[in-house]
Amino acid sequence: MKYLAYMSICATLISLTACSDDKETPNSDAGQASALNLDVSETAETPLETSVKAMPLKARLTPIAEGLDVPWGLAFLPSGDMLVTERDGRLNRITPSGEITQIIGTPATLAERQGGYFDIILDPNFASNRLIYLAYAKGTSDANATAIYKARLNEAGTGLEAGADIYQADLRGTAFHFGGRLQFLADGTLLLTLGDAYVLMEEAQSVENTHGTIVRLNTDGSIPSDNPFYNQDGANQAVFTYGHRNAQGLVVDPQSGVIFAHEHGPQGGDELNILEPGKNYGWPAITYGINYDGSIITDQTEAEGMEQPVVKWVPSIAPSGMMLYSGDQYPDWQGDLFIGAMRGPAGLKLVRLDLDADFNVLAEHAYLEEAGLAYRDVVQGPGGHIYVLAEGADSGLYKVSFE
């Protein structure tokens, strides 16, 4: 978390610049370029308004496996091999040397628009039970939902066995804004992010459905009885937080239990939030973004009973994937957040948020901007090394090194 001098792929690091709107929306083809106005929480020791000084760093991408089709989620196996999802419905086992084996026994998916395979996560007791959880789009174009498939990786590591859906969110009629990130809490319960389906944004302000929410589940798909709305009449008992648009990053600090989530705004207004059970994160009643046609969604950016973001990005960077660094490879960055960004030209980058011990954001730094890739996921691997899933002309799995 202290200053460390490294920078983007043979390029000058430029902090707090971004460009374009949300990549993951129906109207995302038209980008926009301007300086990022980053607001950091008022409790930060050094609040930032627009920019910080560029830092002389270098970062490099080393390809591990190329030619992947919209790689989405990444999980490391104890052996050092990686499980990687591709959105069109493939699950791969990839060795550190780049050998790819397609895993068999996976569920059929709605591989349409933003639908398909999403995140994958290992059970906390994977070493003894070999269980995995896969978030994916299930159903048809007119009736679909985000679901969680639970299965056992066979002993050979080549297929899934004894698989079944343990959870399915409420049905929607579009193939946009599925959410799909997974994360375990310290008590063994599982969080899943769920999008607002793009056309159901108003439903994100209701706890009676799962649209635009983050849900909390037991590993068999049942609902924990201490969920915040478990005993509320008419509420969906799985809802943990609500008022989200399309959360694409989810991280839990194992020491404090603090939960970070980031989500796509519309045209502008991407957010990083700290989650608390039962809280309302505002969408679409309050937002720092506007519609893609330039019309106003709401003129309200704050409201009683609704949480403010820790960071907002205007214009959007389309954040995706997130990792709280804890490795020894870059000790000064322990406790910092790494976030992928998917919109460019300035939004195509890997972002590091410098956090203090109380999780206040002190600065934002950008890397790998000149690689021309969109970073869908970022994960810490063995030895504290950093790995990313990237989309673009050279889509694939990469190791990131700083020097």
Task: State yes or no: pLDDT of 14 exceeds 70.
Answer: no
Q: What are phi and psi of 183, to 5 degrees?
A: -160, 140
Mean pLDDT of 289-316: 96
Task: State yes or no: pLDDT of 359 exceeds 90.
Answer: yes
Residue 89: the pLDDT is 98
Question: Mean pLDDT over all residues of the chain?
Answer: 88
Of 27-36, 61-70, 157-166, 316-325, which range is least confident? 27-36
* pLDDT, tens digit (0-9, with 9 covering 90-100), for 186-209: 999 999 999 999 999 999 999 999
Q: Which 3 state secondary structure label does DSSP give 90?
A: strand
Mean pLDDT of 351-371: 95
Provide the 8-state DSSP code for 104: B
- CB-based burial of residue 144 (10 Å sphere; 0-12 exposed, 13-18 middle, 19+ buried)? buried
Mean pLDDT of 292-316: 96
Contact in structure between 58 and 403 (CB atoms under 8 Å): yes
> How many other C-beta atoms are found inside a 10 Å radius of the C-beta of residue 288?
22
- CB-based burial of residue 154 (10 Å sphere; 0-12 exposed, 13-18 middle, 19+ buried)? middle
Q: Whole-angstrom Cα distance, residue 378 to residue 384?
A: 12
344 — pLDDT class (breaks 50, 70, 90): low
Mean pLDDT of 6-29: 35
**More confident call, 295 vs 57:** 295
Contact in structure between 400 and 340 (CB atoms under 8 Å): no
Q: With pLDDT > 90 as the criterion, what percentage of the chain qualifies?
A: 83
Task: State yes or no: pLDDT of 370 exceeds 70.
Answer: yes
Residue 362: the pLDDT is 96
Please give the domain boundaries of the chain with CATH numbers for all domains: 17-402 (2.120.10.30)
Q: Whole-angstrom Cα distance, residue 134 to residue 47?
A: 38
Residue 245: the pLDDT is 98
18 — pLDDT class (breaks 50, 70, 90): very low
Residue 343: the pLDDT is 86
Contact in structure between 40 and 52 (CB atoms under 8 Å): no
Q: Whole-angstrom Cα distance, residue 337 to residue 364?
A: 10
Contact in structure between 212 and 172 (CB atoms under 8 Å): no
The secondary structure of 204-225 as a DSSP string is GG-SSS-TTEEEEE-TTSPPPT
> Which amino acid would we find at residue 381?
G
**Cα separations in angstroms, 253 against 192, 257, 261, 328, 395:** 16, 5, 11, 17, 29
Helix (H) or strand (E) holding 58: none
Task: State yes or no: pLDDT of 81 exceeds 50.
Answer: yes
Q: With pLDDT > 70 as the criterion, what percentage of the chain qualifies?
A: 85
Question: pTM here?
Answer: 0.88
Indicate which residues carry an active-site annotation: 177
* pLDDT, tens digit (0-9, with 9 covering 90-100), for 113-146: 999 999 999 999 999 999 999 999 999 999 999 9
3-class SS letters over 290-338: ECCCCCCCCCCCCCCCECCCCEEECCCCCEEEEEECCCCCCHHHCCCEE
Alpha helices by DSSP H, listed for 34-158, are 126-129
Residue 55: the pLDDT is 42
Task: State yes or no: pLDDT of 392 exceeds 60.
Answer: yes
Residue 53: the pLDDT is 33
Contact in structure between 3 and 332 (CB atoms under 8 Å): yes
